[in-house]
Amino acid sequence: MNDHLASLKALIPSSYIPRGDQATVVGGAIDYVKQLEQQLVALQAEAAARRGGIRAVATAASAASDGVFVSPQYTSYSEGCGGVDVEAMAAVGGHVRVRVAGRRWPGRLVRAVAALEDLRLAVLHLAVNSLGHDAVVYCFNLKMEDGCEVATADEVATLVHQIFAYATSGACC
């Protein structure tokens, strides 16, 4: 076990492992892999944007994380009301990973985060990948807090789609 931890520690930048204990090494490795995954999503989405616009961006964003740290449960919404594509994937312990791809709208993210918090969905991590001047991919790690009335990734995807559509148009679809 110690040999494997030493090998893992050698693969991870030292900034992710401030201490040498086992838990810190494993936690740092997880954080580093998540950061690499976000870079992969951004690069794939950027390449897709060059090829075919927002629909391709949403496809690239969802394809980049298939099977990484998540169960296969997911829901996807195509671009339509509100101009967003949403994918939610269930993770362990009430955590949900959500990706939202769409056109950039002033104030959309701030209103969406406030609405998520009102629904007792805590934003643990948020990555924003800009794609040119008019497209963006938001990657959320959410935690369902006590009192949260949604229980599945499907329900979270539905709510996030409504939130982002509302944040854009002013009327929920």
CA 112 remoteness from chain centre: 14
Comparing 2 with 55, which gets the higher pLDDT? 2
For residue 115, the enclosing domain spans: 53-169
The 3-class secondary structure across 59-125, one letter per residue, is: HHHHHCCCCCCCCCCEEEECCCCCCEEEEEEECHHHEEEEEEEEECCCCHHHHHHHHHHHCCEEEEE
In a domain, 40, yes or no: no
Give the pLDDT score at 35: 78
Mean pLDDT of 22-32: 85
In a domain, 152, yes or no: yes
Provide, for the chain, the percentages of residues in helix, strand and coil under a 3-state DSSP scheme, each rounded to the nearest 5.
50, 25, 25
In a domain, 38, yes or no: no
Mean pLDDT of 97-103: 86
What's 91's domain CATH number?
A: 3.30.70
Number of domains in the chain: 1
Per the structure block, which two tokens stand in for 87?
A: 């994918």
pLDDT per position as a tens digit, 35-94: 787 777 667 766 766 666 555 555 554 544 444 433 333 344 444 445 688 888 876 678
In a domain, 69, yes or no: yes
In a domain, 151, yes or no: yes
pLDDT per position as a tens digit, 131-167: 777 788 888 989 999 998 888 888 888 899 888 887 6
Q: Is the pTM of this model over 0.75?
A: no
In a domain, 45, yes or no: no
For residue 146, CA distances in Å to 94, 119, 129 come to: 10, 10, 30
Give the pLDDT score at 55: 53
Q: Would you give the end-to-end CA distance of the chain in angstroms?
A: 53
In a domain, 42, yes or no: no
Q: Collapsing DSSP states into helix, strand and coil, what is residue 169?
A: helix
In a domain, 17, yes or no: no
Give the pLDDT score at 92: 67
Q: Residue 11 above 70 pLDDT?
A: yes
